[in-house]
A and B are shown apart, each in its own frame.
Chain A
Amino acid sequence: MNKITIDPVTRLEGHGKIDIFLNDGGEVENAYFQVPEFRGFERFCEGRPAGELNRITPRICGVCPWAHHMASTKCLDDLYKVEPPPTAKKLREMAYSIYSFYDKIINFYFLAAPDFVVGSDAPAAERNIVGLINRVGVEIGKKVIATYKDSQKLLELLGGRTIHPVWGLPGGVSKGITDEQRKEIAEKCREYVDFAQYSIGIFHDLVLAEKKHVDVIVGDVYNMKSYYMGLVDEDNKVNFYDGHIRVVDPDGKEFARFHPRDYMDHIEEIVLPWTYLKFPYLKKVGWKGIVDGKESGLYRVAPLGRLNASDGMATPLAQKEHDRMYDTLGGKPAHHTLAFHWARLVELLYSAERALELAEDAETSGACIRNVPENTPSEGVGVVEAPRGTLFHHFWTDENGIVRKVNLIVATGNNYGAMCYSIKRAASKLIKDGKPGPELLNMVEMAFRAYDPCLACATHTLPGHTPLIVTIRDSKGEALEVVER
């Protein structure tokens, strides 16, 4: 059997490795996206006061710290059975919307746009934001940096820190804002709405206006018919902070709608021998392997998953872009994996609009920011929509609030089966006769980059890159060709 390996071997912290196995005819037989092992998180948490967990879990991941902070904080609400006052809820959702906005800027300008605008066939060294500004102009870079810095400052103002917030408490938050601060935040959020529209304009002008890009997005290489999951409000509109979890089937029909506390009735996980990350799947459909279709329990989360699982967006401009996207893609649900990038931009606009709505609401700067918990803790569940998908935190404690057990289903984990499927599908379409085409590395990488996977517990690297090595082996295991960058 032939084997192709894409292995970012020298990343310091957790890395994924892709093995593509060919049959004797040189066609793709299997693809494995392996994720490294991290050990001891549960034991690390056991015996600690539960109140510490919303400051510990953000350190699992430097990319999604606010998502973990918010999921853990909501989990603490549920653990102590305390309802935060309206001001606290609005503050939390406003901060979380700003964080979502900030995260999506990075994804679009640093990861997605260069692939399209600079081109998937461009040298890797040019396919980055510097390559982007070389093509489009330095003003884009200046706008990105200015907006990035502004949103960092707002997050620090609200959460105490930009990256590892020290803010949420069971029943509320530790610090509110003044009317003046709220108005300043609203002013910034108006700029964010403009910036989101500007970003969508770039996507339309530089990506969607090019037929070759649209052909790739709607083509057969990046397609998967799956179930979709996301948090929705009472009107089934996308909500990042709160609501019920809705699942639709590959035809777009509602399959389930449940309270986050009941997630274990709907989601199961399976362990496969070749990777350390578990595969979640829909319990009522069952595990059928890494396959697509209505009979497969694989589901997708994150931007496209959320939009597919909803009846639309709760803000007007985002709803308009949502409609435009589905009109172009041929209706809802859209199964085009690269449409994750477009859906992420719809959400960028939603994040800005929602943050603005909350910043314009006088109750967000109210005085009552916490209800002090009075109940004895035992078990709690907290769920938010992380940028990379539905994030579940589940804590069990003794009567003194000391942690006995922790279960997390992280956002990327939900998409793990789908990512493996997407990699295999892309590889199958691109590798013929055992020979990877010149764009193989990037085209396969694009399949999982659309999901913006988050595999590690730390996100810094030295030397700061993720090398890819493709090794093509013959049926005896001998390397025939190594492609490296």
Chain B
Amino acid sequence: MSDKQDDIKTLIIGMGNIIMSDDGVGIRIARVLSDRLSGKQDVDVRETPLTGMNLVTMIEGYETAIIIDAIKTVEPAPGVLHKFDLDELALTMHITSPHGTNLYTAVELGRRCGLKMPRKITIFGIEIEDATVFSEECTPVIESRLSAIADEIMKQL
């Protein structure tokens, strides 16, 4: 929810399921970033498994939101970092999200209904190997890249 302090401008969100191997990579990276950013007063770092309205209520009131999640594209190269702006996902504005709505639509709803949505929403997608096995560990290739991926994201903050 949006019970944030006024001086905190940026929210970093790790998304995923922490017990589904690589699915939790966004949360794992967010935890690394949380440690690295612990002295900074103007950044919040949070975790969530849910998109849509849940994310909208989390990002309400921040100037910038950075969402870190797993992704699996057609030509997977595990560990590769992709970066998107929310607007690049505009074409996904379908009601085909199984239990609610996609982020773009939810943000649009928030804006239309008077919520203060961030000026900029950036999404980092980390290419994963496997998200079908219950495990608190990522696959070895992702585990070995966690620190480097966090470095890459830090450079782009």
Asked whether A and B interact, the reply is yes
Q: Residues on A close to B: CB < 8 A? A: 8, 10, 12-14, 36-41, 43-44, 56, 59, 62-63, 106-107, 110-111, 114, 124-125, 127-130, 133, 138, 141-142, 145, 148-149, 152-153, 156, 162-164, 445, 452-468, 485
Inter-subunit contact B108/A130 (CB<8 Å): yes
Question: From residue B123, how far is it (CB to closest CB) to chain A in Å?
Answer: 7
CA–CA, A466 and B110, complex, Å: 21
Inter-subunit contact A464/B108 (CB<8 Å): no
Most buried by B among A128, A149, A163, A466: A128
Q: A133-B109, A163-B50, A460-B69 are in contact. Are A111 and B134 (CB under 8 A)?
A: no
23 A-B pairs in the complex with CB atoms less than 8 angstroms apart: A10-B73, A13-B20, A13-B23, A40-B135, A41-B134, A44-B134, A62-B50, A110-B53, A127-B95, A128-B94, A130-B93, A130-B105, A130-B109, A142-B113, A145-B56, A148-B53, A454-B99, A458-B49, A460-B51, A460-B69, A461-B51, A464-B97, A465-B93
Q: Give chain B interface residues in 53-94, CB to chain A under 8 Å.
A: 53-54, 56-57, 69-74, 84, 89, 92-94
Question: From residue B54, how far is it (CB to closest CB) to chain A in Å?
Answer: 7
Sort A-B residue pairs by CB-CB distance and give the 9 closest, nearest first.
A464-B102, A458-B17, A62-B49, A465-B92, A466-B96, A44-B134, A128-B95, A141-B113, A40-B134
**Known pairs A130-B112, A162-B54, A458-B16. 8 more at Cβ < 8 A?**
A13-B20, A40-B135, A63-B98, A106-B52, A162-B1, A458-B131, A462-B71, A464-B51
Question: From residue A448, how far is it (CB to closest CB) to chain B in Å?
Answer: 10
Enumerate chain A residues within 8 angstroms of B131, measured Cβ to Cβ: 12-13, 458
Q: Which of B49, B84, B101, B114 is within 8 Å of A460, CB to CB? A: B49
Most buried by B among A41, A110, A145, A460: A460
CA–CA, A398 and B110, complex, Å: 50
Enumerate chain B residues within 8 angstroms of A452, measured Cβ to Cβ: 99
Most buried by B among A44, A114, A129: A129
Q: Which of B72, B73, B96 is within 8 Å of A124, CB to CB? A: B96
